[in-house]
Amino acid sequence: MTISAAELSAAAPAPIGVFDSGLGGLSVLREIVAKLPQQRYVYVADSGHCPYGGKSQDQIIARAVTITDFLLARGAGLIVVACNTATIAAVEYLRATYSVNFVGMEPAVKPAVALTHSGVVGVLATGAALAGDKLLRLIDQHAGGVRVITQPCPGLVEQIERGELATAATRALVRRYVEPLLAAGADVIVLGCTHYPFLRRLIGEIVGPQVRVLDTGEAVARRVASFVNEAPSADVRATAIDWYSSGDPSQMRDVGAALWGSPINVAALPKE
């Protein structure tokens, strides 16, 4: 059962803000809620501006600032940038601009390097994420003697935003993007976009059981938990989440409910 954060006492702990370019951040929110079920949350899907992959750094920073201002106005005491592209483009600016703590995304390059037996790791990500220095620094820091191959995946985010997780078109895209990695000998594939965990089953079918598929949702949840002291409260009997979209709330309500696994009530993000 999910209740609205607005129904809780004003004296309750500050909510955790979570935002993504769209619905991909639900994969991260799910892991956070599993660790912190009694927290309040405000989730913003910037679906009206999705995908971020084709946008400039300045454009992404502008969107991140707008959403951060909204989350702070809603009382957020911690903000999770549940988007790899937004983390790469904007999290350093956000941390330098605001006093609130931000938790960002980091592709699982380090654990992938530790797990590979073939010496080849593949990273699936958006074009903007792959163009950023942050990912390149991460690879330089942790790759060692392992070959890390990066693969841009145009079109995958859009398929997931439409809820097309197992269509022939989505399958064809996934196959197109993972086949070069498999041909190069990759035995670990990193999901470098928070949307992609929703395709984990499909990716697993295509790459086979001999290839490990990693994402960082659980690691981010642990990081969020390190900032939060959660004590059982008689006032909070269920997870409280307020949902917002800068796109069509009904679209998020339908697709988001399928991804989340239960109905969600979505409000329109106020126009800036």
Same domain (yes/no): 83, 115: no
Q: What is the pLDDT confidence band of residue 3, given thresholds at 50, 70 and 90?
A: very low
pLDDT number for residue 235: 52
Q: Is the pLDDT of residue 12 over 70?
A: no
Residue type, 86: A
Q: How large a percentage of the chain has pLDDT more than 70? A: 92
Same domain (yes/no): 96, 125: no
Same domain (yes/no): 97, 226: yes
Which residue range(s) make up the domain with 177? 109-215
Same domain (yes/no): 99, 227: yes
Q: Is the pLDDT of residue 89 over 50?
A: yes
CATH of the domain at 183: 3.40.50.1860
The number of domains in the chain is 2
Q: What is the pLDDT confidence band of residue 272, given thresholds at 50, 70 and 90?
A: low
Average pLDDT on 5-22 reads: 74
Element (H, E) at 215: none
Burial zone of 107 (CB within 10 Å; 0-12 exposed, 13-18 middle, 19+ buried): buried
Q: Where are the alpha helices (DSSP H) in 19-167?
A: 26-35, 57-73, 84-97, 109-115, 127-131, 133-142, 156-161
Same domain (yes/no): 54, 31: yes
Cα distance between residue 134 and residue 86, in whole Å? 11
**Average pLDDT of the chain, as a whole number:** 91
Which of the listed residues 175, 199, 215 is the one where a domain comes to its end? 215
Q: Is the pLDDT of residue 4 over 80?
A: no
CB neighbour burial string for 117-143, b if at least 16 within 10 angstroms, e if fewer = eeebbbbbbbebbbbbebbeebbeebe
Which of the listed residues 215, 234, 252 is the one where a domain comes to its end? 215
pLDDT in tens, 205-259: 999 999 999 999 999 999 999 998 755 444 555 679 999 999 999 999 999 999 9
CB 43, CB 29: distance < 8 Å: yes
Same domain (yes/no): 211, 235: no
Same domain (yes/no): 138, 73: no
Q: Is the pLDDT of residue 8 over 60?
A: no
Same domain (yes/no): 250, 185: no
Same domain (yes/no): 38, 98: yes
Same domain (yes/no): 207, 249: no
Same domain (yes/no): 170, 230: no
Same domain (yes/no): 129, 262: no
pLDDT in tens, 121-132: 999 999 888 877
Q: What angle do CA 254, 256, 258 make, to 5 degrees?
A: 75
Catalytic residues: 83, 193
